[in-house]
Chains A and B, each alone.
Chain A
Amino acid sequence: MNRLFWVLLVVPFLAGRGLADNQPDLDQRVAAIAAELRCLVCQNQSIAESNADLAVDLRRQIREQLKEGRSERDVLDFMVQRYGDFVLYRPPLKASTFLLWGGPFLLLVLGIFLLARKIRSVRRPAPQLSEAERARAAALLGTGKE
């Protein structure tokens, strides 16, 4: 049961990451990168979704850079150099975001820990009665109806 639990925890994580199609075309690559970048003039949209001028310009930039042979990492770095980490929708892994990326896992571990503690605490066996206490209980329960 335990091992299954951990497998179930990890498999979707692994399966979900990096499952890109083989040889996507340029449009798809541009769209994929654009979905990772925030449109700075909009109210919380990616530059893939937005029709703002800046979004259109940046999509063109992405397309040109990919055509030149740059990688996805290069394009994202290009954007971060000019606009800062704010432009990434996937927060970078740094000291300041450690709690963010580690948080969900820590919350889960904390929850499991509290759960285990609760289960252990309610499983404590009932206290044993001494002979005298047992007799008294019998008296109260049996003929004690006054």
Chain B
Amino acid sequence: MSARALWVLGIFIALVMLLAVGLTLNPREVPSPLVGKAAPPFELPLLRDPDKTFTTKERLGSVWLLNVWASWCVSCREEHPVLLELAKTGAVPVYGLNYKDRREDGLRWLAAYGDPYHLSVVDPQGRIGIDYGVYGVPETYVIDKRGVIRYKQIGPVTREVLAQKILPLVGQLSRE
């Protein structure tokens, strides 16, 4: 057994293990660098009343969810029932960010599928979305009392994610 052969075998085994672990990962998921940082402040017009605006400052002092959605987004329909249930329990208010959508389309979508949002704001050009690092709708942010993003859900919010990640976190943040 030469030293060279042992080295090669060793590296090979490490490679196979790496590839095996790789099979369990998702190479397309982009973790957010904003977790633990202040949620980018914005002031945007409301979906239902374009003359009024909502600013993130209004939410300081309480925990809330920001859900990015659009009428053209197919996966949003998957998570919608979960959000509606959450809204009914009133555990934590959900605010909507209507992303790169037309007002009429957004309103029509909410009328058809229900409106779980305390209110929705519009971001027709996606600029606030860029500030939040949105790359694939739907995305949901958990924001604490000081306005810091504590968690980002990429993709639809499922019942498991809600029960195991989001609600416990909200509970913990409310007690802070």
Contact = CB atoms under 8 A, between A and B. Distances in A.
A33 interface: no
B130 A58 contact: yes
Contacts of A53: 100, 126
B132 to A, nearest CB: 7
Q: Is the interface of B mostly helix, strand, loop or mixed?
A: loop
A81 interface: yes
Interface in B45-69: none
Nearest to A84: B33
Contacts, number: 37
Interface in A81-104: 81-87
A70 to B, nearest CB: 15
Interface of B: 30-34, 100, 125-127, 130-133, 135-136
A61 interface: yes
A80 interface: yes
B33 A57 contact: no
A83 B30 contact: yes
13 contacts: A40-B30, A40-B136, A41-B135, A41-B136, A53-B100, A54-B126, A58-B130, A80-B33, A82-B34, A82-B130, A82-B132, A84-B31, A86-B30
Interface in A55-113: 57-58, 61, 80-87
B30 A61 contact: no
Contacts of A80: 33
Nearest to B29: A86
A87 B130 CA distance: 13
Contacts of A57: 125-126, 130
Given A53-B126, A61-B130, A84-B33, 13 more contacts: A41-B136, A53-B100, A54-B126, A57-B125, A80-B33, A82-B130, A82-B132, A82-B133, A83-B33, A83-B133, A84-B30, A84-B133, A86-B31
